[in-house]
């Protein structure tokens, strides 16, 4: 057993004190701190938050050790027990962070716990030195103030939230107890509505997938006063940070609250258990490159909203609005012409969670959701409503997770082919490994479910005609083949339009086709002036989804099979 003890020197201290007791298997052994955390496919370099590393024996005599790389310590111990002590700095709260203060502890063990690479499957026990009147929310086995995991993998996939003022709601579906824990100023005026909505989408997800292995599941909510939106999935829990707290009972906040919760719950099956072969098991020492992010995150993004409308939690109008948000994010991203969703998945480890260079990549969440939509509609139509993407996910569960193995890109495609009944290489070549536009395929499919796609001009006339995206006067985007591309570069600061301060007239500018416009701007503190003549425009256009007038019985039936409305 590896035994951890966590404490603070002072209640308000930003440093978490960690003590690790180990019975070495050999005289010289290694300890490592993970390099990344599941759910964030990017190196975290957690060792930069660690200081004051010490190693002693049971008599408190110092042991020889050396750091062999940025996250690895080699220790020499001839005794039966070795004690390691160090401190972890905590300063931020997000879905995957660790944070301690005098009011609560928020522990993601992945970024603060050392492990033995050759002994990860032993029991790991964590003792929390916290006030007796604090509650502990965690998916691990609890004994008083201690938590126990059957392996390091279980430990780091089971975050904990502890504090005196945690609000707690619970509901039950089948044989599983679900817990909602809230830390922060969440004004739970609508407790009954929350529980009713969560029960509905949870029940449908469980019914759809057919099996839920856990007897307990925990939603750990941080509700800060500032704006926030982040969620991370775990073995039998999820950490969600959503703010600001003052908007908790607003419609927008509540919709986000439901959407992110449904998304993270579906991860219980997809990525936590149905997992790419490159991450089966996780390797915490280096990047786990994989190309199937469009399954892990894209399919989950698609299902997160789909389950809300199918279960009756949200209505059709809301769902159309959510699809249109995806459309906006996809069609205003010119990276869709340059990089496939498979390549973009691989590059998550490079810059997947940053804006990156202009027009380089697509979002595995957004395009992944759209190509999941395409596949789902294809299966429904081909099977006349008898099958859908649900069948693909259930088959992945049975053929891969239940057989204790991960899937490859080829496995996913072959599984879908077995469900739909024909070769899907054209679908894959166009939309997974290729950069074929999705709009024509979507138009053809959606009309058969009673929906149309309409091309919509960008509301900002400068963006529409110049191909220029601006944020507070700063150029943040330039459309390819646009008038702006011939003149501007990202970072330029617009000063004036026809000698009128750009700041004053930006909201009232109405650019027209076929006219010339004089603009002044700063680049590297140098004032420049340019005249731009507009052409036909059409930059940063997007499609919007709307109901069609076709309400025939076959169309209604297909819509019912898809959305249950």
pLDDT recorded at residue 545: 98
pLDDT recorded at residue 509: 82
Residue 25 has pLDDT above 90, yes or no: no
Question: pLDDT tens for residues 304-329?
Answer: 999 999 999 999 999 999 999 999 99
Angstrom distances, CA of residue 359 to CA of 181, 193, 242, 338, 355: 40, 42, 29, 7, 9
- The whole-chain average pLDDT of the chain stands at 96
Residue 52 has pLDDT above 80, yes or no: yes
pLDDT recorded at residue 499: 81
Residue 507 has pLDDT above 80, yes or no: no
CB-count burial class (<10 Å; 0-12, 13-18, 19+) for 53: middle
pTM beyond 0.85: the answer is yes
In degrees and rounded to multiples of 5, residue 202 shows phi and psi of: -65, -45
Give the pLDDT band of residue 551 (cuts 50, 70, 90): confident
With CA atoms as reference, report the closest residue to 115 among 285, 369, 229. 285
Residues whose CB is less than 8 angstroms from the CB of residue 504 and which lie 6 or more positions away in sequence, other chains included: none
pLDDT recorded at residue 351: 87
Per-residue pLDDT, averaged over 20-24, amounts to 95
Residue 550 has pLDDT above 80, yes or no: no
Q: What domains are defined for the chain?
A: 2-163 (2.60.40.3650), 168-250 (3.30.2010), 269-452+549-565 (1.10.390.10), 461-533 (2.30.42.10)
How many Cβ atoms from other residues are within 10 Å of residue 324's Cβ?
Answer: 17
pLDDT recorded at residue 549: 85
Angstrom distances, CA of residue 386 to CA of 307, 362, 376, 377, 419: 18, 32, 12, 12, 10
pLDDT recorded at residue 353: 84
Q: What percent of the chain stands above pLDDT 90?
A: 95
Strands 516-523 and 500-501: unpaired
Residue 212 has pLDDT above 90, yes or no: yes
Question: pLDDT tens for residues 251-301?
Answer: 999 999 999 999 999 999 999 999 999 999 999 999 999 999 999 999 999
Strands 451-456 and 237-243: unpaired
């Amino acid at each position: 057993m590896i035994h951890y003890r966590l404490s603070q020197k002072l209640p308000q201290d930003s440093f978490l004190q960690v003590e690790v007791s180990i019975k070495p298997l050999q005289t010289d052994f290694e300890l490592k701190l993970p390099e990344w955390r599941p759910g964030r496919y990017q190196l975290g370099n957690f060792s930069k938050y660690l200081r004051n590393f010490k190693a002693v024996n049971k008599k408190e005599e110092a042991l020889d050790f050396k750091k062999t790389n940025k996250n690895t310590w080699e220790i020499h111990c001839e005794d039966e027990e070795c004690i390691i002590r160090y401190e972890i700095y905590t300063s931020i709260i997000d879905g995957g962070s660790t944070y301690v203060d005098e009011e609560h502890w928020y522990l993601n063990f992945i970024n603060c716990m050392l492990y033995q690479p050759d002994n990860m499957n032993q029991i790991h026990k964590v003792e929390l030195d916290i006030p007796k009147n604090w509650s502990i929310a965690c998916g691990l086995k609890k004994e008083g103030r201690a938590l126990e995991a059957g392996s390091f993998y279980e430990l780091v996939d089971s975050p904990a939230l502890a504090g005196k003022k945690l609000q707690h709601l619970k509901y039950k579906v089948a044989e599983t107890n679900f817990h909602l824990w809230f830390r922060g100023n969440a004004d739970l005026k609508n407790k009954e509505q929350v529980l009713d909505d969560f029960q509905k989408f949870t029940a449908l997800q469980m019914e759809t997938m057919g099996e839920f292995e856990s007897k307990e599941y925990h939603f750990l909510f941080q509700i800060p006063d500032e704006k926030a939106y982040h969620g991370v999935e775990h073995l039998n829990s999820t950490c969600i940070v959503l703010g600001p707290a003052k908007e908790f009972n607003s419609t927008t906040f509540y919709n986000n609250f439901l959407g992110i919760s449904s998304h993270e719950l579906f991860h219980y099956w997809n990525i936590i258990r149905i997992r790419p072969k490159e991450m089966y098991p996780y390797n915490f020492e280096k990047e786990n490159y994989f190309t199937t992010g469009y399954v892990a995150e894209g399919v989950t993004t698609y299902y997160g909203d789909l389950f809300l409308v199918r279960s009756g939690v949200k209505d059709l109008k809301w769902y159309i609005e959510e699809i249109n948000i995806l459309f906006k994010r996809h069609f205003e991203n010119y990276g869709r012409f340059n990089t496939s969703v498979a390549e973009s998945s691989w590059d998550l480890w490079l810059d997947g969670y940053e804006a990156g260079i202009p027009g380089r990549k697509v979002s595995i969440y957004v395009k992944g959701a759209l190509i999941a939509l395409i596949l789902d509609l294809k299966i429904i139509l081909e099977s006349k409503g008898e099958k859908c993407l649900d069948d693909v996910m259930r088959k992945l569960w049975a053929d891969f997770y239940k057989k204790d193995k991960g899937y490859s890109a080829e496995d996913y495609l072959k599984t879908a082919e077995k469900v739909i009944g024909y070769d899907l290489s054209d679908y894959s070549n166009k939309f997974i490994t290729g950069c074929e536009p999705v709009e024509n395929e979507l138009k053809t499919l959606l009309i058969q479910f009673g929906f149309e796609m309409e091309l919509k001009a960008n509301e900002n006339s400068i963006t529409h005609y110049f191909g220029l995206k601006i944020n507070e006067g700063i150029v943040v985007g330039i459309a390819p083949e646009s008038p702006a591309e011939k003149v501007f570069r990202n970072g330029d600061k617009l000063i004036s339009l026809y000698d009128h301060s750009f700041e004053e007239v930006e909201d009232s500018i109405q650019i027209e086709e076929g006219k010339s416009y004089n603009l002044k701007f700063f680049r590297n503190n140098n004032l420049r002036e340019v005249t731009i003549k507009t052409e036909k425009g059409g930059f940063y256009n997007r499609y919007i989804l709307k109901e069609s007038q076709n309400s025939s019985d076959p169309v209604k039936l297909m819509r019912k099979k898809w959305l249950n409305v």
